[in-house]
Amino acid sequence: MSVNHPFNETRTTSVLVTGGAGYIGSHTLVELLSNGVRPIVIDNFENSSPESLRRVASLCGSEPFTLYEGDIRDSGLLDRIFSEQKIESVIHFAGLKAVGESVREPLRYYDNNVGGTVKLLEAMQAHDVQTIVFSSSATVYGDPHTTPIKEDFPRSAVNPYGRTKLMIEEILTDLHATDPKWKIALLRYFNPVGAHPSGVIGEDPNGIPNNLLPFISKVAVGQLEELSIFGDDYPTPDGTGVRDYIHVVDLARGHVHALRAFQKETVPNFLTVNLGTGRGYSVLEMVHAFERVSGKTIPYEFAARRAGDVATCFADPALANRLLGWSAQLGIEEMCRDAWNWQSKNPEGFKR
C-alpha cells in the first residue's frame, strides 16, 4: 500500500462511498485505501456483487472496511450509518446508469437517482456532513456545439438517465446557494474504461454490454460473435463516433484529488470539473488498439447509428488540472491492456 496520506485524521474519520461495490466505486475504494482513507460502503448490490468488495480488501491487504448492505433511499439506514460512523464526506456513486432502461422505466430512474440523492442529502444535512463528490457525466453536455468541451458549455439531456444527472446537478447547486458551507464537487466523467492493472477488479456488466469496451472484450474472449459499429458516416476522420475514453484508475484518482482539495481548502466550495483525457478516439481506433494489445481479432460489421449518439465528444480537462492538480496518466494502450487482462482472467466477471 502507498504511504502517501493526504488526510490528516485518516484513522478517525471516514468517507461514505455510496455504490462502492460498483465499477467506478470499487476502483475508487482502492485509491482511498492506498491513500490511508477509511471508506464506509453502502450498496444494495442492484448492479454489483459483494465479491468486488472482497477483492478490493484482498488487493489492498487492508483491514476489511465497513459495509452497509442497503438502499440509499432508506432514510432509517442512512440515519444509522451517520450515527454509528464518524463520516467526514461522501462520494456518491449509487445510481442506475443504463440509458435504454431509463427510457423504458423513467420513474424507476427518477426515484432511484434523484429520490435517492435527496434522501442522502437530507441525512447528510441532519448529521452535519456537508462535503459531497458527485458522479456526474459528460452526458449533461448533450450534443456539444464544438469540442473540446469546457465546463461552462450549455447543458441538455436527451434521455431520462441524462436528465437525472442534470436534476441532481441543479439540486446540489440550489443546496450550495442556500448554504455556501456545503462543499460540492460535480465530477463530469467522460467514458470510463479499463480495469485495475492487477486484473482483480473490473467492469462486470449484466447481460450483453451496452458500452463499447466491455462489448469488444466479450468478443475477444469468445462470448459474443462480432461487434456492431453504430454508424460509419459521422463527420469524424474515419466516420465512426469519437469519445474521450478515460482509464478507470485515473478517474478514481480524481475523487481522491477532489476530497484532498476540499480538505486543504485550495478550491472553491462548489466546483464542476470534467474528468477526461482531452483526447478523442474513434470506435475503429479502439478496436485496433484492443487487437494490438490482446493479439485477438475483433470481427465487426457496420450497423445503423444508435439513437441519441453524438458524433464527437471529448473533454477540455484543463480546469481539473488547474483546480485539483489532476490529469489522466494512462493512455489507450493501458486502457485496452487492462480491460483485456481483467476480461481474460475473469471471463465470467465476479461470478467465479
Binding-site size for ligand NAD (CB under 6 A) equals 27
Q: From ligand UDP, ligand NAD, none, which one binds at residue 283 (CB under 5 to 8 Å depending on kind)?
A: ligand UDP
Residue in the shown chain whose Cβ atom is closest to ligand NAD:
22
Residue 316 touching ligand UDP (CB under 6 A):
no
- Measured CA to CA in angstroms, residue 215 lies from 194, 204, 300, 302 at distances of 12, 11, 11, 15
Residue 48 touching ligand NAD (CB under 6 A):
yes
DSSP string, 262-319: HHHT-S-SEEEEEES-S--EEHHHHHHHHHHHH-----EEEEPPPTT--SEE-B--HH
Near ligand UDP by CB under 6 A: residue from 171, 306, 327, 349: 306
Catalytic residue among 141, 161, 234, 245: 161
Residue 19 touching ligand NAD (CB under 6 A):
yes
182 within 8 A of 348, measured Cβ to Cβ: no
Strand partners, 115: none
Q: Quick check: is 161 catalytic?
A: yes
Near ligand NAD by CB under 6 A: residue from 160, 162, 192, 194: 192
Q: From ligand UDP, ligand NAD, none, which one binds at residue 68 (CB under 5 to 8 Å depending on kind)?
A: none
- DSSP summary character for residue 150: P
User: What is d(CA 23, CA 46) in angstroms, rounded to the nearest whole number?
Assistant: 12
We find the least distance from the C-beta atom of residue 266 to ligand UDP, in angstroms, to be: 31
- DSSP summary character for residue 201: S
Q: From ligand NAD, ligand UDP, none, which one binds at residue 85 (CB under 5 to 8 Å depending on kind)?
A: none
Residue 159 touching ligand UDP (CB under 6 A):
no
Residue 73 touching ligand NAD (CB under 6 A):
yes
Residue 230 touching ligand UDP (CB under 6 A):
yes
257 within 8 A of 317, measured Cβ to Cβ: no
Report the 3 state secondary structure along 31-91.
Answer: HHHHCCCEEEEEECCCCCCHHHHHHHHHHHCCCCCEEEECCCCCHHHHHHHHHHCCEEEEE
Q: Are strands 245-247 and 191-193 parallel, antiparallel or unpaired?
A: parallel
Q: Which helix (H) or strand (E) holds 245?
A: strand 245-247
CB nearer to ligand NAD: pick between 143 and 179: 143
Task: Give me the residues that bind ligand UDP (CB under 6 A), please.
Answer: 191, 210-212, 215, 227-230, 241, 243, 283, 306, 309
Task: Give me the residues that bind ligand NAD (CB under 6 A), please.
Answer: 19, 21-25, 42-48, 71-73, 93-97, 112, 116, 135, 137, 189, 192
Q: Looking at the annotation, which residues are catalytic?
A: 161
